[in-house]
Amino acid sequence: MKFENGCWIFDEGYTCFPATHVYFVKKDQNAYVLTVPTTHITGKGDTLGGVNLTVRISSPKEGILRLQTWHHMGAKKKTPEFELELKDEIPMEVTESDEMITFVSGDIKAEIDKYPFALRYYKKCGDTWKLITASKGRDLACIKKDFLGMAYDRAGDTADTYMRENLSITVDEHIYGMGERFTSFVKNGQTVRIEHKDGGTSTDQSYKNIPFYISDKGYGVYVNHPEPFDFEIGSDSVVKCEFAVEGGYLDYYVIAGKEMKDVLVRYTDLTGKPTLPAPWTYGLWLSTSFTTNYDEATVMSMIDGMLDRGIPLRTFHFDCCWMRDYHWTDFTWDEKIFPDPAGMIRRIKDKGINICVWINPYIAQGNDIFDEGVEKGYFVHRTNGDVWQWDMWQPGMALVDFTNPEACKWYQSFLNTLMDMGVDAIKTDFGERIPVDDVVYFDGSDPKRMHNYYTYLYNKCVFTAMENKLGKGKGMLFARSATTGGQKFPVHWGGDCWSDYESMEESIRGGLSLQMSGFGYWAHDIGGFEQTSTADVYKRWVAFGLLSSHSRLHGSSSYRVPWLYDEEAVDVVRFFTRLKAKLMPYIYKTAVETSQTGIPTMRSMVLEYTSDRNVTYIDKQFMLGDSLLVAPVFNAESRADFYLPEGTWTDFFTDESYEGGKWYTRDCGYLDIPLMVRPGSVVAIGSCEDKPDYDYADGVELRVYALGDKESASTVVYGMDNKVDLEATFTRKGDTVTADVKSSKPYTVKLVNMDGVKLG
């Protein structure tokens, strides 16, 4: 939120108590605690009153510094808290003089001037330290509204009190991330509200709000607060990133990295790595859509229609109307429409297709399990003891209280029944409209902190049930809402978009933003959700969707099978589904590495090519892994506009070479999309095109692209057990490229050098 009116004065009613003077420093195990008055201390008499801040600085691991600041440390600790991967704090290198105290943890350093207080963060670049961000003057502060003086300050830290930090932005610095955001990709100049909203993809509201931003200067800032608050990214003071939280406590981390990708590695070390989805999940998903009418005959006609047309469908999704009207969510099939659900699921799975079903965390009072939830206290309550209910999405719906362990077990029992039937994946819809007023949770959690955090407990409950029931590595969600740590429960999709090019553009921007916020895998509604797209938009969206991490055809009130658009749409869906299957050795390698590092499968150009100033604002093309550049078409003129960084790039389809460092415009048919291969790459192409899960090393083709003289390039191919089945290194010397291939067992491997140089 904004407190200041220009450069010199505060808005009416606000009083600022800034960190001014480091008065005491003491060691607390591996951390250091600073007593910081907010006034100038010139003598003993100045210490008799006034506001003091307590600042604690520590390091959870090398390259990360944590700064905690309190006004009153006796305030009751509020829950919930994010589940961070925190171990013991590590020792820092600390030096202190009369003027300054310095803290070093690996390649990050903080300097604190004692008087007047100033804080500077640096990262190590070679043998030198480079300033990355800083705060000084009134930046780190306690701010009070309607403050009447110490003797009249009755509110303490419970009302009209905020803790604020301003961290500097320098010349030519750009800020990204903060979750799945549909506004301009570069966040400079924006107020970003970290508050879950169910607002679609065309506003500043977001389903997935992550209190983390990343800078192209090679650092990130994670604000360790689940409650809603604002980032002012150069939108109050144009040279500062401001964040302020209610109450008298602020906790944030500064994370350094040599590159932006290194920052994401460390951020996900802290908040959790993305869990690896199973190989089958990367195939094509088809949905019944949101409010369409359907029965087994309809479902089978869709499935058989896809298979009969040579489209290798891999997963079928039943959206909400598999349950009875007014009975969401009771986990019970509508027997009038599905008299034999277990048999139907078996018949579908006999075709080699996995099953996903839709749920949400709301229990309507018209369904069969509502009374049990009320009786046993499994729902969120009002302060007067009533069950909290409202009439949005289901009349009289109640909200499952996932802070209650017994409520979680109860909810999971219904999921277990579905999995016993053969359900393989769960679409966890909703989770954003969580109340903050007149609400009581089982464990006493603070309602404001629960608003964003609720989705974490919801998705964790479902994901854990699946892992426990189906086995480790087999949990699979299709989730809409998320907060910090939600990357551990994949996959997430982009929410409710319209069916036009503008929404397709919004979707890619939101997905790239989310994946710069620690999330590794992402999908979107191919063809758009609301209304029905033209055949032109549908076919262009198919190409984009099947070159994304995960791929689902889904809509609202109309079906998304391709033959309802035109016959060419069938060809397009078939072509790109089979292409993705062929690319699976490469895609799955990328996915495994994402689970190990936190570097996403779909990468913004600035994440992969940070030093190239041309990519700073690019948000309509992306890198799929480290070697393939994807540039979807966003117009009815069949025109593709794309930029290639330096080097000799190769068109994946035509093998034509393109000189990098420039923009290109070209016309594309519907079976064409700019899919460009990075110079010096090895891309593994699989031998199977009718499913995404197969033995990737058997019959694999290893293609080597634009390898320079005396350069080497390598790749690996993973098996279904996530172990390396094959590894290969290619080295060029003069006019010859030599290959060194090792495998876990005999495989047929085809080696292809794509630039015509002899392969030895």
The residues annotated as belonging to the active site are 429, 432, 496
Instruction: Round to whole Å and give the CA distance between 677 and 664.
Output: 15
Residue 14, token pair as written in the block = 């606000």
DSSP 3-state of 616: coil
How is the chain split among helix, strand and coil, in percent rounded to 5?
20, 35, 45
**Cβ proximity of 86 and 60 under 8 Å:** yes
Q: Where would I find the beta strands (DSSP E) of 542-698?
A: 551-553, 602-604, 622-624, 628-630, 639-644, 648-651, 657-659, 662-667, 675-677, 681-685
Which amino acid, residue 257? G
Query: Residue 476, Cβ neighbours under 10 Å: how many?
Result: 25
Order of strands across the sheet that contains 108-114: 93-96, 100-105, 108-114, 117-125, 128-136
Q: Cα angle vertex 735, ends 733, 737, to 5°?
A: 60
β-pair partners for 731: 712, 738
Q: Where would I find the beta strands (DSSP E) of 38-140?
A: 52-58, 64-70, 93-96, 100-105, 108-114, 117-125, 128-136
Torsion of CA 234, 235, 236, 241, to 10 degrees: -40
Instruction: Round to whole Å and give the CA distance between 37 and 53.
Output: 6
3-class secondary structure per residue, 402-463: CCCHHHHHHHHHHHHHHHHHCCCEEEECCCCCCCCCCCECCCCCCHHHHHHHHHHHHHHHHH
Axis-axis angle for helices 405-421, 447-470 (nearest 10): 40
| Helix or strand run (H / E) with residue 526 | strand 525-526
Q: Where are the alpha helices (DSSP H) in 175-247?
A: none
DSSP 3-state of 605: helix
CA distances (Å), origin 619, targets 188, 232, 404? 15, 22, 42
Locate tokens 């509201």: which residue?
205
**Cβ proximity of 728 and 739 under 8 Å:** yes
